[in-house]
Amino acid sequence: MDLGIRGRSAILLASSRGLGRACAESLAREGVHVVINGRTEADVLRTCDELHDAYGVTATPVVGDATTTEVHDALLGASPEPDIVLLNGEGPAPRAFTDIDAPMWADTLQRTMVSPLLFVQRVIGGMQQRQFGRIVAISSAMVKSPNPFMSMSHGPRLGLTGVLKGLSKSVIADNVTINTLLPERFDTGRQQQMAELVMALRKISYDEARAEQVASIKAGRLGRPEEFGDTFAFVCSAQAGYMSGQSIQLDGGSYEGVF
């Protein structure tokens, strides 16, 4: 299937590893020039090299924390008129609700909700003028099934989802779509971290921790990053221009609710 985006340009926040990298790879394979971002220089450079070598696209590295204005500046310096933007970032660690103090709230809200919105402010007008834009946020399945130990994750992410949904209504007439992908338990470093956390907390083995992760997914397996990346690429396609404001769960069929 031709996604109709060859030659377009994308900025992908937090794309040197994990789901972000998978998204970058799927776009690059379709001929999209990508700006790769991450905090570890070696990861960012290696990703750029690999994508350029494999697919021949321009892959521009921007090293740094994508929740800062400086990195936003650098990203837009590298690609001033992006057609596609991936909003992504590291999720916070689990923490009991009563242990979250005001500075922690302020920090997680700034990083997970405000910072992506400030970046969207800087690209949305140009996308409207150029009559093409695809903004996709990686959120979490938990925004629809909040877990009491992940308040710092689903709180800001729900806020982000809501603001993006509202915004989506006012830009779709200019062929700018805004959608959210809600992953649960993809086989990335994040799940390994979570397994290690559970091993330490509950004195169980790595295999036991992984088995619990798998057991929590109705599909009986973790998701593969390339499944995520290709879904992202489809949502960015030319022919996905009539679909906006959607929150699509990629969770191995695990969500209980009908909608």
- Could you say which residues in the range 203-242 bind its own copies, by CB under 8 A? 218-220, 223-224, 226-228, 230-231, 233-234, 237, 239-242
The two structure tokens encoding residue 140: 């979490």
Min dist. Cβ of residue 242 to its own copies (A): 4
Amino acid of residue 128: Q
Q: In what order do the strands lie in the sheet with 59-63?
A: 59-63, 33-38, 9-12, 84-87, 133-138, 176-183, 247-250
Binding test (CB under 8 A) with its own copies, winner from 168, 188, 191, 213: 168
Q: Interface with its own copies includes 252 (CB under 8 A)?
A: yes
Give the x/- contact pattern for its own copies in 123-142, rule: CB under 8 A: -xx-----------------
Q: Which residues of 20-46 are buried (b: 16+ CB within 10 A; e: fewer)?
A: bbbbbbbbbbbebbbbbbbeeeebbbb
Examine residue 177 and tell whether it contacts its own copies (CB under 8 A): yes
Say whether residue 159 binds its own copies (CB under 8 A): yes
Q: Is 30 in the site for its own copies (CB under 8 A)?
A: yes
Contacting residue, 63, 132, 145, 208, with its own copies by CB under 8 A: 145
Residue type at 74 in one-letter notation: A
Place of tokens 């990053």: 225
Please report, as residue ranges, which positions from 1 to 20 form the binding site for its own copies (by CB under 8 A).
1, 3
